Amino acid sequence: MTGHAVVIAGGGPTGMMLAAELTLAGTDVAIVERRDSPELAGSRAGGLHARSIEVLDQRGIADRFVSQGKTYPVVHFASIQLDISDFPSRHPYTLGLWQNHIERILAGWIGELGVPVYRGREVTGFTQDDTGVDVELSDGPPLRARYLVGCDGGRSLIRKAAGIEFPGWDPSTSSLIAEVEMAEEPELGVRRDEKGIHGIGRLEDGKRLRVVVREERPREAGESAEPTLRDLSQALIAVWGTDFGVHSPTWISRFTDMTRQAASYRKGRVLLAGDAAHVHFPVGGQGLNIGLQDAVNLGWKLGQVVRQVSQEDLLDTYQAERHPVGAQVLKTTMAGTALSRSDARIDAVVDTVSELLSMDEPRKRYAGRLSGLDIHYDLGEGHPLLGRRMPDLDLVTADGPLRVFTLLHDARPVLLNLGAPGSFGIDPWADRVRLVDATYAGPWELPVLGAVSAPPAVLIRPDGHVAWTGDPGHPAHRDGLREALTTWFGPPAVRPELPQALARRQPAERDRPDLASTGGRHRAERHRPRQQLHRNLVEGGRDDRGERDVPEPGRDRHGELGQVLRGRREPRDVRCLLESGAAG
């Protein structure tokens, strides 16, 4: 049976982003995708919000997307435009870019990272036990994984097979979206009426047209969900009085305002991300974006658990942080859906809301929410940065100017020291956390909140969110730093004296490649520090793919030493273990 540390069901944007994050974290991962080709039929959804572009910038690949799209300094709440050009971000805009282009670029990236994709297959079922998941495929032998992640859309088989409830609201409206040709010249642009928002626009080739149109009613239970050209013709006639001679559809799809969220994003060794975890009406273009951000939140955490850097309860923070974000998006899209219709009463509400949102503070609050720049994970009381995304500051280091986001290209946590260089160290976590001495003389400003005080030091997670701020020279702050390092990046390593042969294997920090942006076609595991390979050996013998090749920890001396190095056992027998060759 073929084995991987993680198997991802679904190779859309969320699945590919998660695969990239896991690969950067040094975890063997594979995607199972039902489509035979990475090419997506039709353009589908479109648009990346500011925080999603920042996330891509944190991995050094934002320019690949920005160069292919068009920027708009606004976000939309129903039909209301909110300006974000004054937001403190390098990317204060929405990027107009169709999903087929987004997927093409992501596919190229994971190809460079060497992620295997099982194409033309679907996950048909799975069984999980205490050590992993057996994944059944529609074609070929099953796969064995330590974890399975469902990124397989709103009708997720993974969610259903796991028995995860999907509470919410049934659809009240239904729309068709299609790419077609028309014999007659259509009325281009957007139209609002009592049904909602409709639109016709010309595509890049100048010949085909993209159509979005509300139907008279949502589909009843038992009716076919697959739309036809006749359905599209009838919907066009109902809105415009003609179907403009519609013909030759490239694709037609139906979507509704069904709004649901998984009760749990995890059940045992099965996790959910993207549309598998939450569905809603696409008003505001939120779905693809929060899926990408789900992936970036989950990837480094799952990678650390697979590598046994962290305990499994770290995965509980994925639910704790991302479920509230999804719930807020569902509320916002339901409100936007209601306001997208047009009659005298709703128009009065839209005018009132529009007037309120023209005021600076309400505009910033809702624009921050829609752009994703205001996301705040509840990590307790403290500096306003705590739990929020770290600004992309222009730093000055001993090696020259450096952006904060550049430090995150390899998806490794960073402790940024803005005080006296060399004033403190983090040796017990040095194999996991990069310590950077730097200065910054500019203002500290956050979206929505505005100016904040400059912290002496900041601990930044791989997803770009701040896990701790403080002054490491202060005893109480120093204790808080140790607690944060342990919570997010595992217990301190106990560092017994290693044989010279092992010590020589530790590479310099400068030798670590930038896997996210080099474009090299090497497996990420090959570039992990030898320190990590050594830890894999002593932590119960996990190989580079997360598979066991020696007995479980605690049943032999490798496992015992692994527990010591992870700080879970007293180092009473470390010297004899090392001298006996167990770690060599």
What residue type is assigned to position 375 of the chain? Answer: I
User: What's the pLDDT score for residue 582?
Assistant: 29
Residue with tokens 């920890």: 553
Q: Which residues contact 259 (CB under 8 A, 6 or more apart)?
A: 168, 169, 279, 280, 281, 330, 333, 334
Residue with tokens 């569902």: 330
Position 356 pLDDT exceeds 60: yes
User: What's the pLDDT score for residue 558?
Assistant: 31
Position 540 pLDDT exceeds 70: no
What are the pLDDT digits (tens) for 32-91? Answer: 999 998 887 766 667 999 999 999 999 999 999 999 999 999 999 988 999 999 999 999
Residue burial 68-107, b: 16+ Cβ < 10 Å; e: rest: ebebeebbbbbbbebebeebbbebbbbbebbbbbbbbbbb
Q: Which residues contact 130 (CB under 8 A, 6 or more apart)?
A: none
What residue type is assigned to position 29 of the chain? Answer: V
User: What's the pLDDT score for residue 501?
Assistant: 42
Nearest to 385 by CA among 433, 430, 435, 444: 444
Q: Domains of the chain by range and CATH? A: 2-168+260-371 (3.50.50.60), 173-256 (3.30.70.2450), 394-486 (3.40.30.120), 500-579 (no CATH)
For residue 338, what is the DSSP state?
A: H
Confidence of residue 389 (pLDDT cuts 50, 70, 90): very high
List the Cα angle 563/568/322 in 5-degree steps.
Answer: 105
What are the pLDDT digits (tens) for 440-488? Answer: 999 999 999 999 999 999 999 999 999 999 998 888 889 999 999 999 9
What are the pLDDT digits (tens) for 282-341? Answer: 888 899 999 999 999 999 999 999 999 999 999 999 999 999 999 999 999 999 999 988
User: What's the pLDDT score for residue 189?
Assistant: 94
Position 538 pLDDT exceeds 60: no
What residue type is assigned to position 475 of the chain? Answer: P
Give the DSSP H/E element, type plus range, for residue 538: helix 530-538
